[in-house]
Structure 1
Amino acid sequence: MYKYLAAALLWCCGTAVAQQQLEIQIELPKIETGTYHRPYVAVWIENEQQQPVRLIEAWLEKPDWIKDLRRFWRKLGRSEPELVDAKTGATKGPGSYKVRWDGKDEQGKAVAAGTYVVFVEAAREQGGRNLAKQAFKWDGSSVQIDIKASKELGKIQLSSVQGN
């Protein structure tokens, strides 16, 4: 009987961890300037060895300007154009946006517990460029991190949530 109870508990806990997601709330500030262009933004996850694990989203308009997202371009943009194209959405104006990482890699496999780094990079034509990065533990424990605002990126919040 205890064997079945232990198996049931492991199954339940394993399922809960597998359904955990990382919610990333990104604020794009309103920038007062004569000519305002919406920023290009890329959000992705890397492992401790600085290897890309998952591209979450890219908000781009013209492919010519993707190189302004310098780290993103070096890590994913130039080597994975099909992936970038598949994850690209329209640029967004000032406001607050939420994206989620389901804890899986590009092949759809759940990643191992460990330390990962979320990157949010923004660049604006006739504007500035900012790169925000934050390490976090991905092991089933709660994540709640605030990243301070910069000129092109407002406050960014990371929090663990239960997935669908």
Structure 2
Amino acid sequence: MKFVITRLIVWFSALLLSGNVIAAPSEITLELPQIETSQYHRPYVAVWVEDAQQQPVKLIALWVEKPDWLKDLRRFWRKIGRSNTALVDAVSGATKKPGHYTLHWDGKDDQGQMLATGNYTFFVEAAREQGGRSLAKHAFQLPATHGVIEIAAEGELGVISAVMR
């Protein structure tokens, strides 16, 4: 799976030099592409952040229909889904049809505390019954500055962007 690494490295370099400190991405936009197939099922989607030790710190969104299929979001399932059912229940919402969606994140962890200075990774994972699976990720540092994260479309995920404010 290829990511737009060069573009993201350039963005983060500019980001670190600009000097406007903020907590974290505040607005995340993601696209679910229209996929032409005879049996289309809406994808399950998870959006979360992990720390430098690859431990989940914030579950931003989870769109699911039936818990039985949650395991198809493989990384999400290993990191959060199977061990934190209370959080999964609290955050989960209905699956979405193809389109553009905006999520908001205040830079806080699952306990409501601001994330500490350090290295983090932003994840978006999608899996569709009778379809494919896609995992997009992007490393970032806190404190961060104004800018935009952009991840190119691939498979079950369209373009993903996060605006730093």
Same fold, judged at TM 0.5 (above)? yes
Measure, in 2, the Cα distance between the counterparts of 1:141 and 1:147. 18
The percentage of counterpart residues that share the same residue type is 60
Letter of the 2:141 counterpart = K
Measure, in 1, the Cα distance between the counterparts of 2:68 and 2:163. 33
* Partner secondary structure for residue 146 of structure 1: strand
> Of the candidates 59, 62, 65, which is equivalent to residue 58 of structure 1?
62
Letter of the 2:36 counterpart = E
Task: Tell whether the 8 Å contact from 2:23 to 2:143 is kept in structure 1 after alignment.
Answer: no
Measure, in 2, the Cα distance between the counterparts of 1:56 and 1:21. 11
Task: Tell whether the 8 Å contact from 1:41 to 1:123 is kept in structure 2 after alignment.
Answer: yes
> Of the candidates 124, 127, 130, which is equivalent to residue 126 of structure 1?
130
Task: Tell whether the 8 Å contact from 1:38 to 1:91 is kept in structure 2 after alignment.
Answer: yes
Shift in Å at residue 138 of structure 1? Answer: 2.3
Q: Root-mean-square deviation (CA), in Å?
A: 1.6
Cα gap change, 1:98 to 1:115, in 2 (>3 Å)? same
Task: Tell whether the 8 Å contact from 1:136 to 1:143 is kept in structure 2 after alignment.
Answer: no
- Number of residue pairs matched? 146
Q: Report the counterpart of residue 81 of structure 2 in structure 1.
A: 77
Letter of the 2:127 counterpart = A
Q: Which has the larger radius of gyration?
A: 1
- Segments of 5+ residues of structure 1 without an aligned counterpart are 1-15
* Partner secondary structure for residue 155 of structure 2: coil
Shift in Å at residue 160 of structure 1? Answer: 1.1
Measure, in 1, the Cα distance between the counterparts of 2:24 and 2:85. 29
- Segments of 5+ residues of structure 2 without an aligned counterpart are 1-19
